Structure 1
Amino acid sequence: MGAPEAGTLTEAFEGERRGLFAHAYRMLGAYHEAEDVVQDTYVRALRGWENFERRSSVRTWLYRIATNVCLTLIEGRGRRTFSSGLDSDDLGPWLEPFPTDPLDLVTARESVRLAFVAGLQHLAPRQRAVLLLREVLAFSAAETGEVLGMSVPDVKSALQRARARLAEAAPARDDVLDASSPRARALLARYMAAWEASDADAFREVLRADASIEPVGSPASYTGRAACLAFATPAMGAAGDWRMVATEANGQPAAVAWLGGEPYGVAVLMIAEDGIMAITLFGDPELAKIFVPTG
């Protein structure tokens, strides 16, 4: 029997593209690297398609390629600084926010929340892969072993260790509101209005007493309402300096920000009924352009 038509691969790949992208993002915590992984996966799949013997499903095969591309990237990374709230010496790169479409069920909000993705970076790479394949993508232990070249007992052992480590590293979900919640949308709107009006009092009113601000890539983070205000108030400038647009990132409420008319970055909020619990700041103009391409 001859090799399957390449068009069959392309069709299968396009059906899995969003899932592969989300998987690579969870593995790496980096939006741009995840894009590269998806492209690399397709190129490698095309090269290997003629020899693909269909001993597994095309889906399993594609995720095996993508997962191994991610593992190779992780192994090749130098020691790079992570956000200050994550106290591990061997983490990957800084987190980048993930633009989520509320209608896109593939990227299931809970599995791309910043706290979850950040917690994943504490896991050994293969433990991370096992947990994602088993618990997010619902691969069987046998399929997971096939993807990673592991025995079923080894997969089960790695999953147990990954669950335990993630429980230690990732903060509890607590009473976090979904981005679609009316209360979350209202607090996001008040947050943006406070910054656009340079109104520190209005900003104070939306923060919980235990709120935190983490500027990703900074050596410092700020915990408690007073510390948050001391950090943020000088940056608020004059009314009109900031312009913000509401969006959703990692399944959480977020604001894309411009300062002085120029793209500035993205703020991702963790919100509860009684106020904003945490603000993660990504000061990257290129990310602003990704979330709102027209600026």
Structure 2
Amino acid sequence: MDFEPYRRELLAHCYRMLGTPDEAEDVVQETYLRAIRGYENFEGRASVRTWLYRIATNACLTALEQRSRRPLPSGLGAPSADPDAPPTPAEPGDAWPRPIPDALITAEDPAEIAVARESVRLALIAGLQLLPPRQRAVLILREVLAFPAPEVAELLGTTVAAVKSTLQRARVTLRAAPDVEEPTEPEQRELLERYMSAFMNSDLAALEQLLRDDAVIEPVPSRTWFAGKRTCVAFLRHVMGEPGEWHMTPTRANGQPAAAAWYRGEPFGVAVLTVGRGGIARITVFGFPDLVERFAGS
């Protein structure tokens, strides 16, 4: 049996559950190994796709038993009102979500691309990490993947009533992220180019023009984050440096425009932009140098 046609969607599913591409890829591999070993016992009462999702979801739930949640800084407390203060460092045991390259989870079909991108937005991934694992699984299976309640119940070994009540609790906990009306893709690319140019030229005024009044900056792995254009600009003044110190290349992460960044010739990380009408609504900076190689060529 060839399971490869399901790899991209299974990877996206495991990423929503776990919050990091590396762990998601490990679970997909484990899913395939379990499927190969157990295929002779597959009775065909459900589709192969549903059977694979059963294996993957339960493998994710097992993995989640052994680690804590993965919120972004905005899931840990209020924004900082002092952009001049040193950022609050990560605490021992902090586990952060990481972005995923679009190339890993999107197919060639434009309709499938749109669905895949929408279902891995950073706002959704960050929100999902705040849910208990089984609530997370039910919400993803029901509302992202549109599995019927009886199928979810069978997949998770529970009842339809339990699925419905679990979904209701998940909806209460996961408050919907505000809708951001996105510009067209060419407009997004232009905003990204202007963002990178402003950083590489150390042009704070140009960067300020790109930010919406309600802009947010989350610099992971710090616990500090900032809200409002004025505060964000004051923070950016500390990090822009001199012209030529930053180098960036365009990429895409989580269905959003992004930039792989080097500082003074050394890999720095990836900045993911949430863009809306009126400019950049959120900049999530993942300051992990190992991400640069993964994203620079994607």
Same fold (TM over 0.5): yes
For 1:99, which of 90, 98, 101 is the aligned residue? 101
| 1:270 partner letter | T
Q: Report the CA distance between 1:128 and its aligned residue.
A: 1.1
Distance in structure 1 (CA, Å) of the matches to 2:256 and 2:179? 12
Q: Report the CA distance between 1:80 and its aligned residue.
A: 6.2
Using the size of structure 2 for normalisation, the TM-score is 0.87
Distance in structure 2 (CA, Å) of the matches to 1:68 and 1:165? 22
Q: Report the CA distance between 1:182 and its aligned residue.
A: 2.6
Instruction: Please give the per-residue CA displacement for 1:220-246, whole angstroms capped at 9, x wherever unaligned.
Output: 001122221222222211111111111
Q: Report the CA distance between 1:50 and its aligned residue.
A: 2.4
Contact 2:70/2:126, CA 8 A, preserved across alignment = no
Q: Report the CA distance between 1:198 and its aligned residue.
A: 0.8
Distance in structure 1 (CA, Å) of the matches to 2:222 and 2:163? 36
Structure 2: give runs of 5+ residues left out of the alignment. Answer: 78-92
Residue 287 of structure 2 corresponds to residue 283 of structure 1:
yes
Tell me the SS of whatever aligns to 1:263.
strand
Q: More relative contact order in 1 or in 2 (CA 8 Å, sep 6+)?
A: 2
Residue 130 of structure 2 corresponds to residue 122 of structure 1:
yes
The residue number in structure 1 matching 2:37 is 47
The residue number in structure 2 matching 1:109 is 117
Contact 1:212/1:228, CA 8 A, preserved across alignment = yes
Greater mean deviation of Cα atoms: 97-106 or 145-154: 97-106
Q: Report the CA distance between 1:83 and its aligned residue.
A: 2.4
Distance in structure 2 (CA, Å) of the matches to 1:145 and 1:183? 43
Tell me the SS of whatever aligns to 1:246.
strand
Distance in structure 1 (CA, Å) of the matches to 2:162 and 2:129? 20
Distance in structure 2 (CA, Å) of the matches to 1:92 and 1:42? 30
Residue 59 of structure 2 corresponds to residue 69 of structure 1:
yes
Across the aligned residues of Structure 1 and Structure 2, the Cα RMSD in angstroms comes to 2.1
The residue number in structure 1 matching 2:192 is 188
Distance in structure 2 (CA, Å) of the matches to 1:241 and 1:174? 32
Greater mean deviation of Cα atoms: 278-287 or 53-62: 53-62
Tell me the SS of whatever aligns to 2:119.
helix
| 2:247 partner letter | R
The residue number in structure 2 matching 1:267 is 271
Q: Report the CA distance between 1:19 and its aligned residue.
A: 0.6
Greater mean deviation of Cα atoms: 157-166 or 193-202: 157-166
Matches within 5 A, 1:22-41: 22-41=12-31
Residue 220 of structure 2 corresponds to residue 212 of structure 1:
no
User: Percent identity, aligned pairs only?
Assistant: 55
| 1:219 partner letter | R
Q: Report the CA distance between 1:188 and its aligned residue.
A: 1.2
Q: Report the CA distance between 1:174 and its aligned residue.
A: 3.2
Using the size of structure 1 for normalisation, the TM-score is 0.88
For 2:178, which of 151, 172, 192 is the aligned residue? 172
Distance in structure 1 (CA, Å) of the matches to 2:27 and 2:249? 29
Greater mean deviation of Cα atoms: 204-213 or 98-107: 98-107
Greater mean deviation of Cα atoms: 258-267 or 30-39: 258-267
Size of the alignment, in residue pairs?
277
Specify whether residues 293 and 286 from structure 1 end up closer, same or farther in structure 2 by C-alpha distance, changes over 3 A only.
Answer: farther
Contact 2:272/2:283, CA 8 A, preserved across alignment = yes
